[in-house]
Chains A and B, each alone.
Chain A
Amino acid sequence: MLLVVLAGFILPLLLLIIASKRLKSIYNWLFLLPAGLFVYFILQIGNLGDTGQYFSYEWVPSLGINADFKLDGLSMLFSLLITGVGTLVFIYTSSYLKGHKYLDRFYAYLSIFMASMLGLVLSDNLLSLFIFWELTSISSFFLIGFNNDDPASRKSSLVALGITGGGGFFLLTGFLLMGSISGTYSIQEMLSSAETFQSHGMYGWILFFVFMGAFTKSAQFPFHFWLPGAMKAPTPVSTYLHSATMVKAGIYLLARFTPVLGGDPYWNYTLLIVGGFTMLFAVFHSLFRTDLKGILAYSTISALGILVFLLGLGNKYALLAASVFILVHALYKASLFLITGIIDHETGTRDVTQLAGLRKVLLPVGIAGGLAALSSAGLPPFFGFVGKDLIYEGTLSADNSVVLWTGLAILTNVFLLYAGFQAGIRPFMGTLPAKFEKLHLPHFTMWVPPLLLATLGLLFGVAPALIDQALVQPMFASMYGDISSTPLKLWHGFNTVLALSGLTLALGFALYFSLKPSQKLEKQIAKLDFIAPLKLALDSSRLLMRFAKRYTGTLQNGLLRNYVLITIGFLILIFGYKIYNGISINIDFATLTEVTIYEFMIFGIMVTAIFIAVFSNSRVGAIASMGVVGFSICLMFVFFSAPDLAMTQFAIETLTVILFLLIIFRLPKYLQYSNPPMRIRDGVFAIVFGALITIVALEVLTVNVDNETSRYYADNAYVLAKGKNVVNVILVDFRGFDTLVEITVLSIAAIGVFSLLKFRKEDETDLGGTGDLN
């Protein structure tokens, strides 16, 4: 299982090694990874049992973080979607982006995303779930901004990262709250503490934080605006991340926590209101779009709204409807996106008003589009019909406001039908414009995936038993708690639900034939942009940028001496405040040792050197006197028996002086940067700070510090680490990890200096020479 999750992270590393210019065909075979994982999950279906399979690997046992994975009905459905759609998208991409300069990069991102998404739906530990959650946001950021020379792409990817990443912060807070209340980070163990959560005083806050995470990720109003922007990504990405899988992560989260947090009126009504509003608002927007991807983006938001809405209803039928609708939507929407990609690829436009009659040149694509659109419309015998029936059954069996919920659902479905037909059928009907007559069908790897997905939408509708017991019921069970007794059926007989379905279809067809897309309508709706959440978000981020600029400009103006002054001034302020607030200072001069004559001499040398450094008119003189101070300190270390410190100080001091001299030699002649008042101010700061440090140092002597740690090191240096030099044993053994990180930081600093100076003027400097680091 660990390998299953990590495989997608390993692939990019392998790509780095094996993908070269000569081996182009490797990209045609990368789909084997998701395909293999898909087969693995299919084979696991029989082994799920009632509670699912549990895999546990120790990760950071001392912090209680285990790599725990759980494969139950809910994660199974998602895993199959991720790997299944993933396989098709991998195949599709090999033609769609054939010969693209950064194809390797694209596959790497895609593969990382797949792995993170799998990790997200399989994690049983909240913290690892969070890490994978963030990884999906990050890989989405890279994929949206894939065309990184297009400013619009870059902006959209930043907006998406800002919104989903911001939601991530909320989610982490929520997770930490949940963890501290229940005492465990395992979702499985939380199942038993649903009572504890719902009666806890922080329940409201937990809901708020978890909802913020889920709503930002799943593009619910008012955070929906990042998703249409995300359509700047290449179409395979929109298919994979922004319709079939990633945006459903929020839905997954809500579904996962339904048994833990759900059932409470706050939970239900928040989801009902947010989901209900989003599904209608977004699909209404999609009516006015002329860009195919825009239509699909808004109808995706609407479908996500339906899912949130269903989870909010929370009754048996609604949860079953949610289980079915996730699959229905993934099948038809992924198919429609892939078709849009083909149209865009072949005709060069996605404008619905310009496309017509494409069935004559792209017949298999047209068939796929028709099937997908009919499934989205919920026409019998398509799978969409089963889904829509269940949605109505869910709203009809709501506890209250049945009419309101059902009405909302009908209205949304009518508009969704229109959106589906717009994207899947309208481009293929009517007469073919002359300019498209020379089009020909693309490579089969492009049109087979959408056709396959759309056909599955028909197949599952005709024979729902294929997936009923295997997928839908286990998923339902992991949300609802027990196994439902209502198997999926296509035909329920003549009843209210059927009448509502018929009404939806009739209204939808009427809308399709009466409303033609046009640029004019799109312009009308654009007038409302000034109050759109996107605008508000951009404005507030601009405000933040302006504030940050001014803040940074004041505190960090690029003059090193100002940084030092501000840092020291701030420390003085804190110390001064503490002392002013009446901390008694007890300095016990009696405990100090006698000052010997040679200590006094060293002290004299240091003071003299400092005065020379301060008043010297030559840089070299000042540096040399600072060196004298450093070496005197070194002598002090020797007197007070700290040979390790003395040696290090000595070596460092030598190198510092050399480094200073190297730079100073190249600087222009000595200039007076400061005037007398500034020098007096700096002097006052320096003296006050020095006095404060002296007080603190003397104070420390009288405080009884608990020496347990240092005693432990001293006692165990030889016993545990076989060393007699405690300082060195601490460095290389007891705190070896710190040292490792420190030398890593040192290395980064060296590389930083090297690259800053070496690559300053790339065209002028000869980079060959003595051998580069890069």
Chain B
Amino acid sequence: MKTVILQTATRYLLPLLLLFSIFILLRGHYLPGGGFVGGLVASIAFILHSFAYGREDTQDFMRFHPGYLIPIGLTLAVLSGLLPFIYGEPFLTGLWFKEPVPVVGMIGTALFFDIGVYLVVIGVSLTIIFTISEEI
């Protein structure tokens, strides 16, 4: 499906979709959204790119195999759960900064946990889809 229209549209859509996915991720704590949906949107963005330009181009564009996002995300999630140990709290207790940060809002361990989920979801869905499209 390498059409000029799709390719041109994708060039603008990809950054927008990625931005949107981050937006969904960040607003998740207050409004509908979250790491899971955000991750799905981001992977759809990359898949759209691979539809327009072919899988190889997308992987070149990503610089590294999406599979690497899985351990990174998992580690982030586990670390955010381990952080409360420093303060003597049980695993996965939510810790928060006192003051909200501009744009993002309140920052706490739950946010980093959600970012971990976000990365794992991207990694998993892209790995599965890329592998299948490559190997079958």
Contact = CB atoms under 8 A, between A and B. Distances in A.
Interface in A708-753: 720-725, 727-729, 731-733, 736-737, 739-740, 743-744, 746-747, 749-751, 753
Contacts of B65: 770-773
Contacts of A722: 29, 94, 96, 106, 108
A737 B74 contact: no
B32 A647 contact: yes
B136 A666 contact: yes
A722 B117 CA distance: 19
B92 A747 contact: no
Contacts of B67: 750-751, 754, 771-773
B136 A662 contact: yes
B40 A746 contact: no
Contacts of B56: 770
B117 A760 contact: no
A716 to B, nearest CB: 11
A744 B91 CA distance: 17
B29 A739 contact: no
Q: Is the interface of A mostly helix, strand, loop or mixed?
A: helix
Main secondary structure of the interface of B (DSSP, over half): helix
Contact of B131 (A643, A743, A753): A753
B78 interface: yes
A743 B29 contact: no
B128 interface: yes
Interface string B32-45: 11111100110110
Contacts of A736: 81, 92, 110, 113
A54 to B, nearest CB: 24
Contact of A731 (B36, B59, B123, B128): B36
A739 B36 CA distance: 10
A737 B93 CA distance: 10
Interface size class of B (residues with CB under 8 A): 35 or more
B67 to A, nearest CB: 4
Contacts of B59: 770
A750 B132 contact: no
B135 A757 contact: yes
A754 B131 contact: yes
Interface centre among A652, A728, A737, A758 (most CB of B within 10 A): A728
Contacts of B37: 644, 647-648, 651
Contact of B44 (A655, A729, A751): A655
Interface in B47-88: 47, 56, 59, 64-65, 67-68, 70-71, 73-74, 77-78, 81
Contacts of A652: 40
A152 to B, nearest CB: 39
B34 A750 contact: no
Contacts of A732: 28-29, 34-35, 110, 113-114, 117
A750 B33 contact: no
A659 B128 contact: yes
B129 interface: yes
B70 A747 contact: yes
B29 A655 contact: no
A727 B127 CA distance: 27
B8 interface: no
B120 interface: yes
A666 B136 CA distance: 7
A215 B30 CA distance: 60
B133 interface: yes
A663 interface: yes
Instruction: Pick the most buried of B56, B71, B124, B127: most chain A CB atoms within 10 A of its CB.
Output: B124
Nearest to B66: A750
A758 B127 CA distance: 11
B79 to A, nearest CB: 11
Interface in A480-522: none
Contact of A744 (B32, B74, B134, B136): B74
Nearest to A643: B32
Nearest to B132: A662
Contacts of B128: 659, 749-750, 753-754
Given A723-B110, A749-B128, A743 B136 contact: no
Contact of B29 (A662, A720, A725, A773): A725
A747 B120 contact: yes
Nearest to A752: B128
Contacts of A643: 32
Contacts of A746: 120-121, 124
Contacts of B133: 662
A658 interface: yes
A722 B44 CA distance: 30
Given A666-B136, A773-B67, A721 B94 contact: yes
A644 B32 contact: yes
A746 B128 CA distance: 10
B4 interface: no
Given A740-B81, A771-B64, A750 B32 contact: no
A729 B92 CA distance: 13
A654 interface: yes
B17 to A, nearest CB: 11
B124 A749 contact: yes
B11 to A, nearest CB: 20
B24 interface: yes
B30 to A, nearest CB: 4
A703 B41 CA distance: 37
A648 B125 CA distance: 14
Contact of B124 (A654, A659, A731, A747): A747
Interface of B: 24, 28-37, 40-41, 43-44, 47, 56, 59, 64-65, 67-68, 70-71, 73-74, 77-78, 81, 91-92, 94, 96, 106, 108, 110, 113-114, 116-117, 120-121, 123-125, 127-129, 131-136
Given A651-B37, A724-B29, 17 more contacts: A644-B33, A655-B47, A659-B132, A663-B132, A728-B33, A728-B34, A729-B29, A731-B35, A739-B117, A740-B77, A740-B81, A747-B120, A750-B124, A757-B131, A757-B134, A772-B65, A772-B67
Q: A-B pairs with the 8 shortest C-beta distances?
A: A651-B40, A643-B32, A757-B135, A771-B65, A750-B124, A723-B29, A773-B67, A724-B30
